[in-house]
Amino acid sequence: MAKFSGFRQLKTPEAQVNALEYLQRALSQSLREIQTGLQNLTFGDNFRSFEVSVVIPAGNTDFRIQNRIGVTPSKRIIVRSNSNQVVDGTSPWDAEYVYLGNPGGTDATVTVVFLR
């Protein structure tokens, strides 16, 4: 015990049981709080991302969207759309803007999540 002089030994079985019960209660409460927190995380809490809902005009191949994460996104996920025609634009994405296109014949209303 010389290395851990600040620790005291629990010499009696009663002291050991009391310490164990205390740790079980404290750890159990902490685990419940962590579990509750993890179960309430949203997609946005887990990833550096931003979500945007836009209407992309038909025939548009470079609809510009301001990038709100400050770095060039690596991926996008369309989470809601009234069209299956939405594509990446022809301009490269950067830290300021991302570009989507709609080569279809009607306007596309989409909600997109851009991920770092």
pLDDT of residue 89: 93
Contact by Cβ (8 Å): 71, 47:
no
On whether residue 82 sits in a domain, the answer given is yes
On whether residue 1 sits in a domain, the answer given is no
* Same domain (yes/no): 96, 80: yes
Range of the domain at 19: 11-39
* Same domain (yes/no): 55, 16: no
* Same domain (yes/no): 25, 51: no
pLDDT of residue 1: 46
Give the count of domains, the chain. 2
Q: Report the alpha-carbon distance of residue 68 to residue 3 in Å, rounded.
A: 51
* Same domain (yes/no): 23, 68: no
pTM for this entry: 0.66
Q: Averaged in consecutive runs of 10 residues, what is the pLDDT profile of the chain (116 residues)?
A: 63 76 83 86 83 93 92 94 92 96 94 95
* Same domain (yes/no): 33, 72: no
pLDDT tens digits, 33-63: 888 888 888 877 788 899 999 999 998 789 9
| Among candidate residues 76, 85, 88, 91, the one with its CA nearest the CA of residue 108 | 85
